[in-house]
Structure 1
C-alpha cells in the first residue's frame, strides 16, 4: 500500500491540476483508508512544487495592470502554500489601501501559470473516460456519467475563477456572520481579479495539527464535534457548503476566550436545493433514529433510488444493519470480525445490486464534503464516533420540523377559519342575486340542493378545522402545555358543529 501511495504521489505531483485534488481527497480519508496511504499522500494537502516567484510576479502584474511594488508595500517571495491550482504569498498593503480596508497583513493568491490548459486537458480526459463508462450497463443504469463529469467540470472551472471564489467567500461569511464558531478572511476587492485574489491573512493552527492545538490549550476532542456541527449547518440549514474541507483549508484560531474555526479557499462550493435539503434532513433523522424504513424513504426522496423501486427487502436489510452495527464509530467498526460483514454482503448483496440506484445531480459534492468531514474528525480524535454528533443534531432537526408542522397547521387553521367566515356571506350574496332575479332558477329543487350543499360544506370546513386544531394541540402540548391545551379545547367547537349541523333543521 505504501508503494502504491508513493507512486500515486509522484504521479499527482507530475500531472498537477485535478489529479492533485484526487490525492488530497484520499489523504483526508483517515476514517476509511489505512495510514500507509494517508500518511504518504498528506503532503498533497497543502504542498506541491512551487512555481518560481518571477513567474508568479509576472502573472500577478499582468492581471493587476501594475508592478507589484505599486500594488503592495511588500510581497514575500517565499510561498506559504503551493497548491494544485494556485500559489499563495504573504504581502502587506500600502498605507492608503490599509487605511481604506482596515487590513495590513494579507495573502496574495495567484493562479499557477498555464493552469487553464492543464484543467482543460484533465477535463477532456475525464469526459473521454465518462463516455467509455457510460457504455457499461452496470454503470449507466445507476449513474449518468457524462452529466456527472459535466457537474465536476463546472465546479472545477469555477474553482479557477478567483472572482467567483471571492463572491463565495463573502456569501459564506454572511451566513455565519453571527456565529462565534466560524470566521472567514475578508476580501480585498481592489487587488482581486479572475486570476489574482487578495485576502486577509488568517493563518493559524492547521486543524489536524494535534500537537499545535494542545500547545495552544485547545483540546482536539472539542474541535471535532464543533467542526461536524458547522458542516451539518452548512448542508442541512443553509444549503450552501464548503465542498473541499480538507485540512489544508481549515485553521483553528485561538481567541481571548476560546477559539474558532477559520475556513479558507472557497473555490469549490456546493448548493443544496430545498427539495434535496429536505430529503437529506429526513436521511439524517432516520439514520440517527435507526429507522430502516425511514432511511429507505429518505433515500428515495433524495433521488438515489428510482420511485419505481420495490424496497421491501432493502428495508429489511437496513433494519438488520442498524440492529447490528448502528451507532458504531469507524474505530469500533474496524474491530468487528470481517466475517460478519461478509455474511451481511452474502445475505443482502443481491438485493442491493438489483435495486435501481442512481447518483442524482448535486450529490457528488455532498458526498465529498461529508467524507472529508469524517476524515478530519477522525484525524483529530482516532476514536471519534460521528454518531455522537449526528444524534443531537438530528434531535434538533426533529424539534425544528415539529415547530414547522405546528406553524403549517396554524396557517392552515387560519385559512380554514377565514374560509368558514367568508362562506356564509358568499352564500348570502348568492341568495340575494337569486332573489333579485340575477340568477334564473327554473327548478324549485335546485334551491333545496344549494342549501343542502351549503350545510355540507360548512360541516366539512368544521371537520377540517377540528382536525387541524386537534393535531396542532397534541404536538404543541409537549413543549407548551397551556397553548396546547387551549387548542385541544378549542377543537371541540368545530367538532360539535360538524356532528350536530346535519341534525339541525335547515
Structure 2
C-alpha cells in the first residue's frame, strides 16, 4: 500500500466508521489465533511437530507483514502494539522485529488545517494569538497525537521561562478510534480467557482492562503534563536525566505544550558518533535509570521506545555528565506497589547472585506463582539454568548450541509447564517497560549483557538494605538452629524406613522421560493409523466408493481420539 492510499484509509477510519474498524481487528485476530492453534497445538498433538517447525519462520514473517499493513492502515492502538513488538529485539525473531521496526517512524501525519482547527478550539483563540509562530510541518506524527514546533509570545516566554516549545495535539477523532480498538481487544481477551493454557497463566480480560485504563489516560494531556512534572521531581537531582518543562498556560486535555528538548534519537548511532558519544556506553546508563524507576522510585516510564528518548549532549564542558537521557511522552506511566517493589528487588538480587531458590521465592512473593505451588522442581531448574547460562548476554545466548537448550527443555520443560504460573494484573506495564528497555539496550550494543548492569545495581541494593539483610541472616540462623535440633529425630525415622523397606526413591527426570516416550509412542501410532486409513481410502475410493468412504471416515477416529487425549494429557 502506498503512502497516499494509506493516508486516505486512516482519514476514512478517523471520519467515524468505527464499526468497520472493530470488525477488521477481530477478523485479523481470529484468523491468526486459528493459525496458531492449528500449527502450534493441533499438529503437535497428532505427531506432526516437524511440519510446524519447518513453516514457523515463513509464518512469522507473513504475520509481521500483515500486521504492519493493518497497523498503518488503521493507526490508533494498533501502532502501539506494533511498536512494542518491534522493540523486542532480545526475544522476538528478526522476521518480526525487522518488519515492524518502521512503525516507529512511518505513521502518516494529519493535515495541518485539521490540527489547527482542533488546537484553536481547545485554546479558545487562533494560533497566531497564542504563539509567536507554529511550524506547519510536523516534528513527529505518533499514533495518538502529532507534534509541531512553536515559539511562545514574548510575554508568555518571560513569565514561563520557556521560549521554543513543542505543541502536541491529539489526532482528530482519536477518542472514538481508541474506544473501537479497546472494544475489539476486550473481545479478543474474552476469547483468550476460554483457552485453558492462556487462562491458567493470565487473566486476559483484566490485562486488557489495565491496558484500557492506561490508553485512556494517554489521551488526556492534563494527566500527561502532571506525569511529566512528577517524573522531573523524581530525577531532579540526577545529572543523567532531563525532562521537558510544561507550559501550563497553553495546555488543555487535548493540547499539550512542552519545552522543546529535541536532540539525538537514542538509537541514532551515526548522530551519536558525530557528537562523540559511544552508544555502547549509553546502554548501561539507560538500563540503570530504568532500574531506578522500577526498583527504587516505584514510578516509571512505561513506553520507553526509541522515539521517546533523546540523548542531549551537555553544553557545559565541565558538567558532571557529558550527556543526558531526555525522556518525553509521559502519557503511559506505571506505578509499582510497595509490596511488588520489594519482591522485584529480591528477585533482582537473587538473579545477580545466581540464587535459584531465592529467585523462585521472590517471584512467588510478587504473585507470579500461586502460594500452593510445589516449587522444588523449579528451584532445581533455576539452579541448573544459572549454572549453565547465567551471566550470558543475549548475543552470547544466540551462539549457544541449540541442542543445549533442547536438553534443558527436555529435563525441566514438564516441571515448568506444570507449575501454576500467572500474570498479576499490575505486571503488564512492568513487563512492557523492561521489554522495551532490553530492546533499546540491545540495539545500542548488540553484545549488551544485562548482567553487567544488574550486578552492580543489585550490589547497591544490598548495601542500601543492609539492615534488612541482617534481619534475614538472623532469621536464617534461627531456622538453621531449629533444623539442627530436629535432625537426630529425622535421621532416626529415615533409618527405620530403610530397615522396614518402606523408603521410596523418586527420580523425576527418569519418570518424565519415560512418560514422554510413552506419549510420543501413542501419538506416533495414532498418526500412522490416521495417515494409513486416509491414504488407503483415497486410493480405493475411485474403484470402490463405499469402502473408500468408510476408510476415509474411519481415519477420523484416531484423529479425534488424538485430540481428546491431547486435551487430557494422555
TM-score range, shorter chain: 0.7 to 0.9
Q: Is 1:325 paired with 2:389?
A: yes
Q: Provide the secondary structure at the position in 2 that maps to 1:73.
A: strand
* 1:10-409 mapped onto 2 (5 Å cutoff): 10-255=69-314, 256-257=316-317, 258-404=322-468
- 1:211 Cα deviation after fit: 0.9
Superimposed CA distance per residue, residues 156-204 of structure 1 (whole angstroms, 9 cap, x where no aligned partner): 1001110000000000000000000000000000000110000000000
The corresponding residue for 2:36 is none
Higher deviation after alignment, 347-356 or 186-195: 347-356
In 2, the alpha carbon distance for the partners of 1:23 and 1:333 equals: 25
Superimposed CA distance per residue, residues 304-350 of structure 1 (whole angstroms, 9 cap, x where no aligned partner): 00001010001001101111100000000000111111121121111
Q: Provide the secondary structure at the position in 2 that maps to 1:303.
A: coil
- 1:46 Cα deviation after fit: 3.7
- 1:244 Cα deviation after fit: 0.4
In 1, the alpha carbon distance for the partners of 2:462 and 2:469 equals: 10
- 1:354 Cα deviation after fit: 1.1
The corresponding residue for 1:421 is none
**Contact 2:203/2:425, CA 8 A, preserved across alignment:** no
Runs of 5+ consecutive residues of structure 2 not aligned to the other structure: 1-59, 479-570
The number of residues matched between the two structures is 412
Q: Provide the secondary structure at the position in 1 that maps to 2:374.
A: coil
Superimposed CA distance per residue, residues 229-258 of structure 1 (whole angstroms, 9 cap, x where no aligned partner): 000000000000000000000000000231
- 1:7 Cα deviation after fit: 2.9
The corresponding residue for 2:518 is none
Cα RMSD of the aligned pairs, angstroms, is 1.7
TM-score by length of 1: 0.79
**Contact 2:83/2:103, CA 8 A, preserved across alignment:** yes
**Contact 1:47/1:81, CA 8 A, preserved across alignment:** no
TM-score by length of 2: 0.70
Superimposed CA distance per residue, residues 74-130 of structure 1 (whole angstroms, 9 cap, x where no aligned partner): 100000100000000000100110000111100000000011011101110111111
Q: Provide the secondary structure at the position in 2 that maps to 1:57.
A: helix
Q: 1:94 to 1:160 in 2, by over 3 A?
A: same
- 1:6 Cα deviation after fit: 3.2
**Contact 2:310/2:325, CA 8 A, preserved across alignment:** yes
In 1, the alpha carbon distance for the partners of 2:280 and 2:414 equals: 40
- 1:4 Cα deviation after fit: 4.2
